Amino acid sequence: MMLAETKAAGIQFGWAETDITPKEKIALEGEFFERVTNEVETPLTVTALAIEADGDATVICSCDLEGVTSELIEAVRARVGNIGLDPKKIIVGCVHIHNSYTYRRNSPFPKAKGNSLRMIQTYMPADCRYIPQVTSGDCMSPDDAFDFLADSIAKTVINAWNARAEGGYVPGFGRAAVGMNRRVCYADGTAKMWGDADSPDFTELEGGNDSGIELMFVYDSAKKLTGVVANIACPAQVMEQRSIISSDYWGKVKILLREKYGKDLFLLPLCAPAGDLCPRDLIRWVEPETPIKDPNVIRINPKVRDADPSMFDVKGTWKIGKRIFYEIESALEEVSEIRTSAIHRHMVEDLKFPLRRVTEQEKQDAEEKLRAFFKGRKELDYNDSAALYVYAGTLLRYEVQKQYDSVTAELHFVRFGSLAFASDPFELFLNFGNQIRARSAARQTFLLQLTGGALGYLPTATAEGHGHYSAYISSGYVGHEGGELLVKETLARIDELFK
């Protein structure tokens, strides 16, 4: 298709990608069982897009990681140094995979010392022995992983900024079935993440899904496509149960795009609010190809379904990758005008969110659970400590709330032409994202969860009432009141940008 062009106004775009695939064994982040590996299914990367226009700048960096802490982001900004870019305009997020690095992570509360294991050991009898993780001694240490990632992300940002050149962009949109709700509700008023829907007391999935794909296509001054920005509400977690290094379905999207549009094409994948979503259909349940360890997703005598391939295995990553690729391909066929002028404004704010608090009764219940667990116990291993995280996390929160009543989050709000970009550091439940998108003043709104920090799940009031993982107090720092505040403040900032 012949591409028209608007009047040039000097938008500068710069792309960069850095391979962060480990050369040695690493401990994989995510899940409640230990995984150490050097087996690579698809490479891990960091990708950055730099935008300079209308007197402002934005660099968006997407990492093949489970999360990016504020400590890691500050280390990146320090390493970037003085390159003519305001370091606060560097946005660092992730696609939320469970097949990448474990690295050093400190609490966002400096005065609150300790972790879940320390809290659990407080309740251990004197004659009970802790058996530490024994397979991680020959892999990259969390400190080394932190430094490697900080160096790699900073390098990517610098390269993208230095690669700036005049170009244009085109908004786009697609639809693909990727994310589906993963919280199953039952007749007794409870819910369970990964719950079995093949049960007489199953009533409904707790929330909906979002099949939309917000897209932006970037071109150089010769009208050649240089990269694709894609925003999807689903974590990249098909392979999450596997002890393998993988970029999951986004790696497959990148392979397919480069096969068609050239090996130099860049892909910036962005994860929209999806704290209660996953890439699996819990109604048409399809078993993993080989056994998995997580008891929450093990089914007893499951029925055989004709549906998707296993969304625990490589076939599933290719299925989703193709769905996304076909939608991008279709959207590109409809492109007719490259925009080379845009209003560009980038706001950065540190906003305080109320800490989700533990009641005295919840504290007492958690203590009783821990004491009951250790009755007659002589050993505690890694699996035990994972099972006890709920109670340990509750007691840790009780200690934190003695000294803190809020947590600070870095939020970014960007206007780029008719598009808005808004970030948050939470694993945000879908409904909050839906509220922002539906009421946004922008023609399209790109939402970036787990960006600018890693502050855990932020569930809805409904989910808190239903309970279970992702809605427990120990699953995140902020409750539904904070979600309502996030919606309000995000919409206010977008409105301000579009006045």
Residue linked to tokens 């979503």: 277
The reply to whether 111 falls in a domain is no
SS3 for 338? strand
Same domain, residue pair 435 and 291? yes
Distance, CA of 28 to CA of 66 (rounded, Å)? 9
Same domain, residue pair 251 and 323? yes
Same domain, residue pair 156 and 62? yes
Structure tokens, 59: 């660099």
Distance, CA of 99 to CA of 46 (rounded, Å)? 14
Q: What is the pLDDT of residue 136?
A: 63
Distance, CA of 452 to CA of 353 (rounded, Å)? 14
Secondary structure element (H or E) that encloses residue 415, with its range: strand 406-416
Same domain, residue pair 368 and 455? no
List the domain range (segments joined by +) for residue 172: 4-101+140-353+405-497
Q: What is the pLDDT of residue 4?
A: 38
Same domain, residue pair 288 and 202? yes
Structure tokens, 393: 């996390």
| Partners of residue 337 on adjacent β-strands | 4
Same domain, residue pair 249 and 370? no
Phi first, then psi: give them for residue 365, nearest 5 degrees. -65, -40
pTM comes to 0.96
Same domain, residue pair 255 and 332? yes
Q: What is the pLDDT of residue 159?
A: 98
The reply to whether 338 falls in a domain is yes
The reply to whether 292 falls in a domain is yes
Residue-wise pLDDT for 362-406, tens only, equals 999 999 999 999 998 899 887 777 778 899 999 999 999 999 999
Domain boundary residue, one of 366, 383, 400: 400
Residue-wise pLDDT for 186-216, tens only, equals 999 999 999 999 999 999 999 999 999 999 9
Q: What is the pLDDT of residue 131?
A: 83
Same domain, residue pair 424 and 384? no
Q: What is the pLDDT of residue 134?
A: 59
Residue linked to tokens 């660099």: 59
How far is the first Cα of the chain from the last one, in angstroms, to the nearest whole number?
34
Which residues of the chain, if any, have pLDDT below 70? 1-9, 113, 133-137
- Tally of structural domains, the chain: 2
* 242 within 8 A of 395, measured Cβ to Cβ: no
List all residues 6 or more positions away from 405 whose beta carbon is below 8 Å from its beta carbon.
354, 355
Q: What is the pLDDT of residue 110?
A: 83
Report the candidate in 429, 427, 447, 426 with the shortest Cα–Cα distance to residue 438.
447
Q: What is the pLDDT of residue 3?
A: 40
Same domain, residue pair 183 and 126? no
Same domain, residue pair 344 and 364? no
Same domain, residue pair 388 and 325? no
Same domain, residue pair 288 and 427? yes
Q: What is the pLDDT of residue 121?
A: 86
Q: What is the pLDDT of residue 261?
A: 98
